[in-house]
A = this chain, B = another copy of it.
Amino acid sequence: MKIALAQQNYHIGNFDLNTKKIISAVESAREAGADLVVFSELCVCGYPPRDFLEFKDFINKCYESIDKIKLHADGIGVIVGAPARNIIPEGKDLFNAAWLLYDKEVKGKAYKTLLPTYDVFDEYRYFEPAYDWHVLEFKGQRIALTICEDLWNLGDNPLYRICPMDQLMQQQPDIMINISASPFDYDHDEDRKEILKANVLKYKLPLFYCNTIGSQTEIVFDGGSLVYAANGKLLEEMKYFEEDFRLFDLEQIQSQSLEPELHETRLKKFDHEMRVSKIKDPEKVIEYLTEENNIRQIHDALVLGIRDYFQKMSFSKAILGSSGGIDSAVTLTLACEALGPANVRSVLMPSEFSSSYSITDAEQLSKNLGNHYDIIPITNIYDSFLFALKPSFMELPFGPAEENIQSRTRGTLLMAIANKFGYILLNTSNKSELATGYGTLYGDMAGGLSVLGDVYKMQVYALARFLNGENEIIPQNILKKEPSAELRPNQKDTDSLPEYAILDKILYQYIERRQGPKSIIDMGIDAALVSRVLKLVNTNEYKRNQFCPIIRVSSKAFGIGRRVPIVGKYLS
Q: A: which residues have CB within 8 A of B?
A: 11-14, 17, 46, 48-52, 54-58, 60, 89-92, 117-118, 122, 124-125, 128, 131, 156-161, 216-217, 308-309, 312-313, 374, 376-378, 380-381, 383-385, 387-389, 391-393, 396, 399-402, 404-405, 408-409, 411-413, 415-417, 419-420, 441-442, 446, 448, 514-519, 542, 545-549, 560, 562-572
Contact = CB atoms under 8 A, between A and B. Distances in A.
Contacts of A118: 125
B404 A419 contact: yes
20 contacts: A11-B569, A46-B568, A50-B563, A50-B568, A54-B514, A57-B515, A57-B519, A91-B160, A117-B125, A118-B125, A125-B563, A374-B391, A376-B391, A381-B381, A399-B420, A400-B419, A404-B415, A408-B442, A411-B442, A549-B566
Given A560-B563, A563-B50, A569-B13, A416 B391 contact: no
Nearest to A308: B567
Contacts of A389: 376, 413, 416-417
A412 B413 contact: no
B546 A516 contact: no
Contact of A412 (B124, B376, B408): B408
B55 A516 contact: yes
A566 B217 contact: yes
Contacts of A396: 420
B415 A392 contact: no
Given A89-B157, A516-B58, A388 B392 contact: no
Contacts of A546: 546-548
A479 to B, nearest CB: 29
A51 B385 contact: no
A543 to B, nearest CB: 10
A388 B376 contact: yes
Given A122-B125, A448-B542, A546-B546, 4 more contacts: A216-B567, A378-B388, A401-B416, A401-B420
Q: Count chain B CB atoms within 10 A of each CB in A17, A60, A385, A446 and give the residue with the most.
A: A385
A125 B54 CA distance: 19
A256 B495 CA distance: 71
A89 B156 contact: yes
A119 B569 CA distance: 24
A419 B157 CA distance: 47
Q: Count chain B CB atoms within 10 A of each CB in A58, A448, A563 and give the residue with the most.
A: A563
A487 to B, nearest CB: 12
A124 B125 CA distance: 8
Given A13-B565, A217-B566, A413-B388, A159 B548 contact: no
Nearest to A389: B416
A546 B543 CA distance: 10
A568 B158 contact: no
B50 A514 contact: no
A55 B568 CA distance: 14
Given A389-B417, A420-B396, A565 B161 contact: no
Nearest to A380: B384
Contacts of A567: 11-12, 216-217, 308-309, 312-313
A568 B13 contact: yes
A495 B1 CA distance: 62
Contact of A90 (B158, B392, B417, B571): B158
Given A401-B419, A408-B442, A442-B408, A52 B89 contact: no
